[in-house]
Amino acid sequence: MRLLHTSDWHLGQTLHNHDRTYEHQCFLDWLADTLVQERIDVLLIAGDIFDTANPSSSAQRQLYRFLQQARARVPHLQVVVIAGNHDSPGRLEAPTPLLEAHGTIVVGNVLRRGDGEIDLERLLVPLRDRDGQTAAWCLAVPFLRPGDLPRLRAAEGVDPAEAAPNDPYLHGAALLYRQAHALARERAAAGQAIVAMGHCHMAKSQPSEDSERRIVIGGSEALPVSMFDDSIAYAALGHLHLAQRVGGLEHVRYCGSPLPLSFSEVGYRHQVLRIDLDGARAAAVEPLYVPRPVQLLRVPALPAPLEAALAALEALALDPDLPQQAWPYLEVRVLLDGPEPGLRARIEAVLAGKPVKLAKIEPTRKLVAASDEAEALSLDQLAQLQPDDIFRRLWRQKYGDEAPPEQIESFAELFHAVEGEAR
């Protein structure tokens, strides 16, 4: 049996207010082709399908159109989807009756039975080969919120306060995976693999700079890799946008996002992962690299003074025949001595007529050592300071020089305008 692991599509996401529908569609078209070319039996989508809990209708259409086309091109394909922290579990599960009729299983919520215990059956998905026979089992565990976890009970005769774990979230998440795995072991026949899915932040894993929303749950977020039983053939993870092994284990992996979600990923090659199961184990895990339909540019490569940055922009050689939707995104990195009110206008003037989308201007201030003349002020001295005195002192402290007269005049004008409104 052959699986394909992907996650963190973030359909509907914009990059610095630029629409990315074209890029997402290019990825989904490539993915549909890959399912055919690689002879995939099961597609695992490990959460954050959408960028927000209330996705646009166009983002939802992209997902459902892809699922329909994928099934049409690979009739035996089975798709397993779990909700991520960006997704609305209820919205994701809403079309379940229609999706299940076309081979897609969605697990957005952790539900409880009438007795209050977690419905583990719902988290256990049989994976079928192209002949329709169960060949493996999947623990489809969505992003876990504190209310999704098993209720902890103290052993008989033990004070509950003393039995409480140091970190209830970590303990509860590990317990849920153990309970789901125990059920899978009961169902799995000899030679059938058990695969786990999760959308979480694992300990000792590397996030992508400026790209991920932190998951903070009572001050704890990093789950231990030990929560996956040693007999699990593969753990397909979502949430972190960089592909990586967790704890150095070949079979516990993040596949990463298929598109760059920040300029920190300029030089990173995005991927999905192909997993070949041989009986109860994963025989091979191979990355398949996703083509990048729209490039990211950082100019200059390192922050440079304004004139040097403008010269680098002027020298940009870009393909004039690119369709506008494929124009690269540009981050301009400028090293400044002080405020530059006309910065954007000067950059836009240099870029006029160039096939590029100005996405971000990243100004960096030169570091100024603290003045040796700085001294503490008494309360009486502080009381005598006027607003423009404070402005001058802050300017001198930050830039190591006296504030220009035009800046002082602008500050005075703004201050008086605000003071007038307050009256």
In the structure encoding, which two tokens stand for residue 91, read together? Answer: 């919205």
Distances (CA, A) of 199 to 7, 84, 142, 173, 239: 9, 6, 6, 11, 6
* 3-class DSSP assignment, residue 46: strand
Q: Give the containing element (helix H, strand E) for 6.
A: strand 2-6
| C-alpha 44 chain-centroid distance | 17
User: pLDDT digits over 171-204, tens only?
Assistant: 899 999 999 999 999 999 999 999 999 999 998 7
- Number of CB atoms found within 10 A of residue 244's CB: 17
Distance CA 273, CA 258 (A): 11
pLDDT in the model for residue 186: 93
β-pair type (2-6, 14-15): unpaired
pLDDT at 218: 40
**Residue 367: predicted pLDDT:** 55
Question: Helices 387-399 and 405-422 meet at what angle, rounded to 10?
Answer: 140
3-state secondary structure of 27: helix
The predicted structure's pLDDT at residue 396? 79
Residues in the chain, pLDDT under 70: 152-166, 208-221, 366-384, 400, 419-423
Q: What is the DSSP string of 244-292?
A: EEETTEEEEEE---SS--SGGGTT---EEEEEEEETTEEEEEEEEEPP-
* Per-residue pLDDT at 210: 64
| Interior angle at CA 184, CA 178 and CA 189, nearest 5 | 140
CA distance 339 to 346: 14
Query: Per residue in 294-327, pLDDT tens?
Result: 999 999 988 999 999 999 999 998 999 999 999 9
User: In which region does residue 272 sit, left (phi positive, over 0), alpha (psi from -120 to 50) or beta (all else)?
Assistant: beta
Q: State the CB neighbour count (10 A cutoff) for residue 381.
A: 10
Q: Contact at 8 Å (CB) between 180 and 231?
A: no
Output the pTM of the full model.
0.82
